[in-house]
A and B are shown apart, each in its own frame.
Chain A
Amino acid sequence: MIVKTLWCGTAMKILRRVTDISLKNKIFFSILAVLLIISLAIAFLARWILVSSLISELELRGIAIARTIAERGSSFMLDKNYTQLLTLIFDEMQLKERKHLIAYIFVLDTENNVLSHTFTRPFPPELRLANQVPPDESKSVRLLTPLDQAAYDIAIPVKEGIYRLGTVHVGLNKSHIDHLVSKLRTTFLGFLSLVIVIFFIMSHKLAKYITKPISRLTRVSDELSRGNFDIKLDLGSITEGWDPYDCPAYANTDLPCWHFDDLRTTNDNPDRIPIDYRSCGKCVFYRKRKGDEVVQLADSFHNMVWSIKLYRRRLHESEEKYRSLFDSGPDPIFVVDSTNLQIIDANPRACEVYGYEREELIGTSFLELEPEHGGKSTADFAESGDVQGSVSFQKVLHERKGDKPFFVNLHACHISYKGRPAIIIAATDITEMMEKDAQLIQASKMKSLGEMSAGIAHEVNQPLNAIKMGSDFLAMMVERGSGIPDDQLHQVVTEISAQVDRAADIINTLRAFGRKADLVKEKLDINKPVKGVFSMVRRQFELDNIKIHLDLASGLSPILAHDNRLQQVFFNLVANARDAINEKRDRMHVTEGGVISIRSHEANGEVVAEVRDNGAGIASSVKHKIFDPFFSTKETSHDMGLGLAITYGIVKDYGGDIQVQSTEGEGTTFILRFPAVE
C-alpha cells in the first residue's frame, strides 16, 4: 500500500517534470523517442531476418559441400583408400573462400569410427556421436562447440545406392555468421548515430525556429503587459526605428485609422457591409506578409501592438482633455455615487468654493452640503436612474465650510464613473447674482416706494386729519369751558386712537414693504399681500378715478413666499394696470372709470391670483416681451422697465407661474399661480 503511494507520488512528480520541459525539448525528445523505437525495431527485425537467412544459406552451402564429399568419397571409402579420402576432404576445406567458413570436416563409418578428419589436433571424441543422422533422414544439423568454438555441424550420410557407408560431417564456423552479424550491427549503429546527430541538429534548428519567436513574443508581451510600449519588436525582419508619428492617425487622433476603426463601426452597424476593409494606400505599420505560421504570428502580434499603441494614445489624449476640463473648470464639479450619494471626486474649484480640502470632500455624503432639501433634489434624480437625462436645480441652498449658506444652481447628469453609476453635479455659485438681484429688486422697490409715497402721504393724511379734527374738537370744548360729556369724550378719544392705529398700520405696511426680504420663505396666505397693497393705494387710485375690486377667497391654502415681495408683485401689477387705464384715457379719450379687480382662488393644488384691468391692453406684438428686463412700453424714460421682470423673477422664485391675457383697447389680465402647501 505504501509502495503503491510512493510509486504514484514519483509518477506524478515525473509527469509534472515532463510537462514542464520546454517545447523545444518536447519536440526533440518525442520525435527522438519515436525514431529510436523505430530504428531499434528495424534493427532487430533486420538482424533476425539476416541471421536466419544467413544460417539457412550457410547450411545449404555446408550441405552442398558435404554432399559433394559424400559423392566423391564413397569410392575411396569402399576402397578403404583413406589417404585419398583425406586429400579429398582437405581440398574441399581449403578452397580459398571456404577457409573461413568451414571449421572442420570429418568422415565416420557406420560404427561412428573416424575415417578421416581435418583437425590438426587429436580428434575431439565427443564429435563422434554428437550429431547422428537418423536412419530415414537425409541430413542433420546441430550446433556444437568442439574445442570451444561454436560450429554448425552438418551431417550427411554417405550412400552407395541405398546402402549407407558412413557419414560426412561438415562443421561451419558460427563465428563466420557472427562476424557478419556484428558487421551489420556496427554499420547499423553507426548509421543510427549519424541519423541521431543529424536529427539532433535539425530538430534543434526546427524547434528553435518555432520556439524562438514564441519566446521572443512572450518576452515582448510581458513588456507590453507592464505598460512598456516602446520596446523594440525585433521579430524577424521588422524594421527598427519604429516612429509612431509616421502614422498620420497617431499624430492626429481625429483622423481615423482605417484598419482600426473600420471594423468597429462595421460591427456597430451590422447592416453596413464593408466594400473592403479599407486601409491607407501605404500603411506604415499594419502588415501582412506571406509566410509560414511563425511569420504570420509575428505580423499579427506586431499589428496588435500597434493597435494598442494607437488606442492608448487616443485614450490618453481624451483623458487629458477631460482631465483639464475637470481640473480647470470655472465651476465646482462633483462626481457623486448614485447609490449612496457619496462624493467620489471634486475639482479644485469645488474645494475653493466650498472651503473644504479635496480629501475632506471625498467620501462625505453630498447631502451634507445641502442643509435642507425641499421639493425635487439631487437625491431624487439619483434614484430616478434616468441614464440619459440631465436635470438642473435653480437657487439651491448649500452650505460651505463653517455652515455658511450660499446659493447655487445645480446641473446634474448621469455618468458611469469607474464602472459605478454616478452623477456629475456642476454647481454654479449664484450668491453674487442673487445679491445683485436682491439689490435690483430693492432698487425697484424703492422706486415703487417713491411712487407709492404720494399715495401713502394721502393715506396717512386721512387719519391725521381725523386726529386733528378730534384734538381740535377737544381743544375747542376745553376752551369753551362747558365741559365734555363723557360719552362724547370717549367717542372722540376712541376715534383718535383708531386713527392712530390706522396710520400706524399704513406706516408698518410701508415699512414691511421696504424691508429687505428674509432669505427664508414662509407660509403665507396670498390674500395678505393683496390686502396690504390694497390698503396702501386705495385712496390714491380713487383720486385717479380707478376703483379696485377685491374678490378674495377665504380658507386658501398657504403658499411658500415672502409677504413683502408678493406685495411688490401686486403693487407692480396694479401700478401697471393704473398706467394702462391712464393710457387708455389719454389715447382714447375715454372718461369711464377704470376698474382693477383682484381675485384669488384655489384650484388643482394651486393658489391662483388674478389682476384684471380695463386699460389699454398689450399689443400682441410685444406681449411676449413684457417680462424681458429693461423693456417698457411707456414713452417716458423714468421707467427702468424692470418691474415685470422682477415680478416674473419673484413668481418663479416661489415656484409659481405668471401669465398674461390681454385684448388691446379692452384690458389686461395677469394670472399668477403658486403651488399650495399644507
Chain B
Amino acid sequence: MRGLARLMTGIWIVLWALFACQPAKDSAAPSEVTPGVSDTEILLGSSLALQGHASYLGKQTFRGYQCYLEHVNAQGGIHGRNIRVIAYDDSYDPPQCLANTQRLIVEDQVFALFSYVGTPTTVKILPLVEEARIPLLGMFTGANALREPLNPYVINVRASYYQETGAAISRLVSDLKLTKIAVFYQYDAFGFDGLTGMELALKQHNLAPVARGSYIRGTLDVEEGLHRIAASDAEAVVMIGTYEPCAKFIRLAREQGFNPIFYNVSFVGAEELARRLDSFHDVTVIMSQVVPPPEGPEDGDHLGTASEYITLLRRYFPEDRPNFVGFEGYINAKVLVEGLRRAGRDLTREGFIRAIESIQDFPLLPDITLSFGPDDHQGLDQVYFTRLVNGSFVLMKDWASIKEQVRRVDSQDLVVRDSHEDSQKGH
C-alpha cells in the first residue's frame, strides 16, 4: 500500500509537470535603454493648447514651466543634464493630442510627458501612457479619471475638481445657506467630471442641482443653457467651462437681470475671465483656485516661491503678467526638477517615479507643502477661493462679506427690475 501510494504520487507529479507548466510568456519587456536620456540632455514631451479657444491656458502653462526650466538649465541642469521640453499644439483637441503624444513617444522618444492641459485631451492619452509605461507629470486639469484608479505613471500636482467643487458647495450651502444651485457645464469629459463632483457634493447636503445647462466645447452657444438656469431662479450657478463661454454666460445673465452668485472652477482661466467681465461691477463671481495667487504682495504671504515665479517670468517672458495658470505650470516644473534631482544621475522612468513618490512636505511656500507617496500621486490638496474685485481675482478671506453683497444685490436687483418695468411702461 505504501509503495502504491508513492507510485501514485509520482505519476501525479509527472502529470502536473508535463501539463501545468508552461513557459510563461512575459509581455515584451521594455527596452533596457531609457529613452530620452542622453549624457547631456533629458528630453520631455508636452502637448497643450497653444492655439485655439483655450490657447491662453496652454500658453501660460508653457511659459510658466519654461521660465523655470531655463533657469535651471542656466544653472547647469540636473546632474549635468539640461532639460528640454518638446511642446506640440493640440488646440484642446483630443485626437490631435493623441497624435502628438504618439509622436512624442514613438518618434521623439521622450523620457516623460509633462504639463498637459485639459481633461478630454489628457484622458484620451492615458492608454498610451499605460502601454508605453511613460511617466506623465503635472496636468492642468483636476479630472477624476487621472486620479482614480491610481495610475502608477500619472502624477498630479493640483487638487481635483471634486475637491474644488466640494469645497465651494460646502461654502455655498453651509456658509451662505443657499439651497437653489444650478450648474452650467461644458458638454464633454471635463464638464461631466465637474458636474459629477458638484452633484456628489450637493448630495452630501441632501440637495440636487435645480437646473442644468450646457454648451459644446469650442462653441459659444450658451443661450439655451442660460435660459434653463435662469428659469429655475437659482441662487448660485456652478460653472464648469472655459473663459470665453463662461464670460458670455455671465454677461447675458446680467443683461437679463439674472444675478446669482457665479462660481467657476480653476480651469476657466481667471485673468481672461476677469478681462471679459471688466465692465460689470455688480456681479458676484467666485473662483476656486488650486494654487495660491502669485501676485498681491500687499497681503504679505506670498514670498519665496511666488516671487521666484514672478521674477523668472519677468526675466524670460517679460510681456506676460504673472497668473494662476502660469504659476501652476511653474509649480509643475518645480516638482519635475525635484524629482529628477532625487532620481539621480542613473535616470530611469521607474526611478523617477519612485523619486517623486519620495517627496514629503516639500515646501512650496511657507504654509504650502507638497507631498507624494506610493498611494498618493497628487501633490497639493488645497483649494483657495478668489473673488472678482475691480477687474481681478483676489483671495477671499471669509464669506461674510459675500453674504452682505448677496442681500444688497438682491434688493438692488429688485430696484433695477422695477425701473426697467417702469421705463417700459413709459414712466
Task: Please report A residues at the B interface, Cβ cutoff 8 Å.
Answer: 25, 28, 82-84, 86-87, 90, 93-94, 99, 119-123, 147-150, 175, 178, 182, 185-186, 189, 192-193, 196, 200, 204
A193 touches B12 (CB 8 A): yes
Chain B residues within 8 Å of A186, by CB: 20
Q: What are 9 inter-chain pairs, A to B, with CB distance below 8 A?
A: A83-B99, A84-B95, A87-B98, A90-B127, A147-B28, A149-B27, A182-B22, A189-B16, A193-B12
Query: Which 10 A-B residue pairs are closest in the complex by CB-CB distance?
Result: A120-B132, A87-B95, A83-B99, A83-B95, A94-B127, A120-B131, A147-B28, A86-B99, A120-B105, A83-B96
Question: How distant is A25 from chain B, measured CB to nearest CB, in Å?
Answer: 6
* The residue from B15, B94, B98, B102 contacting A189, defined by CB atoms under 8 A apart: B15
* The residue from B19, B102, B127 contacting A86, defined by CB atoms under 8 A apart: B102
Chain B residues within 8 Å of A185, by CB: 19-20, 22
Question: How distant is A467 from chain B, measured CB to nearest CB, in Å?
Answer: 124
Question: How distant is B13 from chain A, measured CB to nearest CB, in Å?
Answer: 11
Chain A residues within 8 Å of B131, by CB: 120
B25 within 8 A of A: yes
* The residue from B16, B94, B128 contacting A120, defined by CB atoms under 8 A apart: B128
Question: How distant is B7 from chain A, measured CB to nearest CB, in Å?
Answer: 9
Chain B residues within 8 Å of A148, by CB: 28
B22 touches A82 (CB 8 A): no
In B92-135, the 8 Å CB interface with A consists of 94-96, 98-99, 102, 105-107, 124, 127-128, 131-132, 134
- Which A-chain residue is minimally distant from B25 (CB atoms)? A175
* The residue from B25, B27, B98, B107 contacting A178, defined by CB atoms under 8 A apart: B25
A122 touches B106 (CB 8 A): yes
* Bound Cα distance from A200 to B106, whole angstroms: 59
Known contacts A120-B105, A121-B106; A86 and B95 CB within 8 A of each other: yes
B303 within 8 A of A: no
* Bound Cα distance from A476 to B124, whole angstroms: 203
B416 within 8 A of A: no
Chain A residues within 8 Å of B28, by CB: 147-149
For A119, A120, A185, the residue with the greatest tally of chain B CB atoms inside 10 Å of its CB is: A120
Identify whether the interface residues of A are mostly helix, strand, loop, or mixed: helix
Chain A-chain B contacts (Cβ-Cβ < 8 Å), number: 64
* Bound Cα distance from A192 to B102, whole angstroms: 48
A120 touches B102 (CB 8 A): yes
- Which A-chain residue is minimally distant from B106 (CB atoms)? A122
B8 touches A200 (CB 8 A): yes
| Given A120-B102, A120-B105, A196-B8, 13 new contacts (CB under 8 A) | A28-B4, A83-B96, A86-B95, A87-B99, A90-B124, A119-B106, A120-B128, A123-B106, A178-B25, A182-B22, A192-B15, A193-B12, A204-B1
In B149-166, the 8 Å CB interface with A consists of none
Chain A residues within 8 Å of B98, by CB: 83, 86-87, 90
Question: How distant is B11 from chain A, measured CB to nearest CB, in Å?
Answer: 8
* Bound Cα distance from A477 to B372, whole angstroms: 201
A196 touches B12 (CB 8 A): yes
Known contacts A182-B22, A186-B20; A25 and B106 CB within 8 A of each other: no
Question: How distant is B363 from chain A, measured CB to nearest CB, in Å?
Answer: 36
Chain A residues within 8 Å of B12, by CB: 193, 196
* Bound Cα distance from A123 to B94, whole angstroms: 22
* The residue from B4, B96, B134 contacting A25, defined by CB atoms under 8 A apart: B4
In B319-367, the 8 Å CB interface with A consists of none
- Which A-chain residue is minimally distant from B126 (CB atoms)? A94
* Bound Cα distance from A11 to B221, whole angstroms: 93
Question: How distant is A275 from chain B, measured CB to nearest CB, in Å?
Answer: 52
In B1-59, the 8 Å CB interface with A consists of 1, 4, 8, 12, 15-16, 19-20, 22, 25, 27-28
* Bound Cα distance from A82 to B95, whole angstroms: 9
Chain B residues within 8 Å of A122, by CB: 106-107
Question: How distant is A565 from chain B, measured CB to nearest CB, in Å?
Answer: 93
- Which B-chain residue is minimally distant from A185 (CB atoms)? B19
A82 touches B99 (CB 8 A): yes
Question: How distant is A484 from chain B, measured CB to nearest CB, in Å?
Answer: 138
* Bound Cα distance from A90 to B131, whole angstroms: 12
- Which B-chain residue is minimally distant from A28 (CB atoms)? B4
Chain B residues within 8 Å of A200, by CB: 8
* Bound Cα distance from A204 to B19, whole angstroms: 27
* Bound Cα distance from A87 to B25, whole angstroms: 30
- Which B-chain residue is minimally distant from A99 (CB atoms)? B127
* Bound Cα distance from A185 to B19, whole angstroms: 7
Question: How distant is A198 from chain B, measured CB to nearest CB, in Å?
Answer: 13
* Bound Cα distance from A182 to B19, whole angstroms: 9
Question: How distant is B152 from chain A, measured CB to nearest CB, in Å?
Answer: 16
Chain B residues within 8 Å of A204, by CB: 1
- Which A-chain residue is minimally distant from B96 (CB atoms)? A83
Question: How distant is B154 from chain A, measured CB to nearest CB, in Å?
Answer: 15
Chain B residues within 8 Å of A189, by CB: 15-16, 19-20
Chain B residues within 8 Å of A147, by CB: 28
Chain B residues within 8 Å of A119, by CB: 106
Question: How distant is B45 from chain A, measured CB to nearest CB, in Å?
Answer: 12
Chain A residues within 8 Å of B27, by CB: 149, 175
Chain B residues within 8 Å of A149, by CB: 25, 27-28
A120 touches B15 (CB 8 A): no
Question: How distant is B207 from chain A, measured CB to nearest CB, in Å?
Answer: 33
Chain A residues within 8 Å of B128, by CB: 90, 120
